[in-house]
Structure 1
Amino acid sequence: MNYTYIVQCRDGSLYTGWTNDLKKRIEAHNAGKGAKYTKSRRPVKLLYYEEFDSREEAMRREYEIKHMSRKKKEEVIQLGTGVF
């Protein structure tokens, strides 16, 4: 399974990424071994995720979400079926 996810950083900012192991990726973010963006904004909290069969689908959705406004991302989080 592949995932597109949104986390909230300590400073309140939102970060979107994709992975094939969601639990391990969140742990990596919180250990400072995830993305450069989240390294200085730890800890992160998982707010939302979507599951996909292929890596390409997850990456495509990550691209879509990263280009959304913060308001739209918040709507996705509120209306989605991910973690809250």
Structure 2
Amino acid sequence: MLPDLMREAVVLLVASACEAPFIWVHDQPIARRAGLTDEQVEGICLGHAPDDVDAATATAISLGQVLTRTHPDQAAVSSAVGPDPF
């Protein structure tokens, strides 16, 4: 199971990338309760990974950004997760 903050950051990222307004609106309050700030939520909406989250959450967001591209390649995925993501 993912930590709440990580899960909600990725949910918002995917909702934004897939232009899913219902999920975006529904999960914003949940994300805030999980610990994301207004600035982090806004940044995720704009496609920016927050730089003030733990390393595992940053990795999950980076991987989510790569995977929501139209055709991610293996090099991009490897770059997103790094040599030892967990």
Q: Decide: shared fold, TM above 0.5.
A: no
Higher share in strand: 1
Structure with greater Cα Rg: 2
Larger RCO: Structure 1 or Structure 2 (Cα < 8 Å, ≥ 6 residues apart)? 1
TM-score by length of 2: 0.31
Higher share in helix: 2
TM-score by length of 1: 0.32
